[in-house]
Chain A
Amino acid sequence: EVQLLESGGGSVQPGGSLRLSCEASGFSFSTYAMNWVRQAPGKGLEWVSGISTSGYNTQYADSVKGRFTISRDNSKNTLYLQMNGLRVEDSAIYYCAKDGVATISFHGYFDYWGQGTLVTASS
């Protein structure tokens, strides 16, 4: 059974940092691209970042480029999102999402999602 378990969310002041983690199990983690998708309270889904199987290729939404860094450790079956310079508008539930196709780069749809972790940036 595929499981994605996020952790690391919490409350921080604007300008602060957080590191999210997503521990994966039940599939061959190293053969799938992985992503972070967020959802602000009462709002729609927003793709944040994606990373290829090796970690060599990364992509970011313009809204987080230069502030967030995605990475992965295939030996630990874990995906990360380092978030620096957090803004009020970054407050959201952050989901870890598995790419739907085993490919070296990205395919683009998400067949499994974690339960999400809440990030709140507020003074």
Chain B
Amino acid sequence: DIQMTQSPSTLSASVGDRVTITCRASQSINNWLAWYQQKPGKAPKLLIYKASILESGVPSRFSGSGSGTEFTLTISSLQPDDFAIYSCQQYSSHPWTFGQGTKVEIK
């Protein structure tokens, strides 16, 4: 199975900050990577797929990059609505696997 490792596990930031979350795969997944946002008590929401394609309706302050084994999710200017848990997911090969999540909290 492909292991997905996110860093950091928790990130403290302020409104307006630029935030970067890293996701590493245990083997190459090309660009078959998605990012999700999850708020307490809610289902995950798709932000980005194929490593860098923004899902319709997602604000442009979110961006994704990377290929192979290393990927990043960047929020260019953190907004109050962005405090949440972010998870990456590989869909290169079954079983699809997720990272453990990164909690973005208020500094």
Contact = CB atoms under 8 A, between A and B. Distances in A.
Contacts of B95: 47, 59-62
Contacts of A46: 98
B42 to A, nearest CB: 8
A110 B100 contact: no
Given A100-B49, A107-B91, A108-B32, A47 B96 contact: yes
Interface string A33-54: 0010100000011110010000
B7 interface: no
Interface string B1-42: 100000000000000000000000000000010101010001
Interface residues on A, range: 20 to 34
Given A59-B95, A62-B95, A109-B34, A45 B46 contact: no
B94 interface: yes
A64 to B, nearest CB: 10
Given A45-B101, A108-B32, 8 more contacts: A45-B98, A47-B96, A47-B97, A60-B95, A95-B44, A100-B46, A109-B50, A110-B36
Interface of A: 35, 37, 44-47, 50, 59-62, 95, 100, 106-116
24 contacts: A37-B44, A44-B87, A44-B99, A45-B36, A45-B38, A45-B87, A45-B101, A47-B89, A47-B95, A47-B96, A59-B94, A59-B95, A62-B95, A95-B44, A100-B49, A106-B91, A106-B94, A108-B92, A109-B34, A109-B46, A111-B49, A111-B55, A113-B43, A116-B43
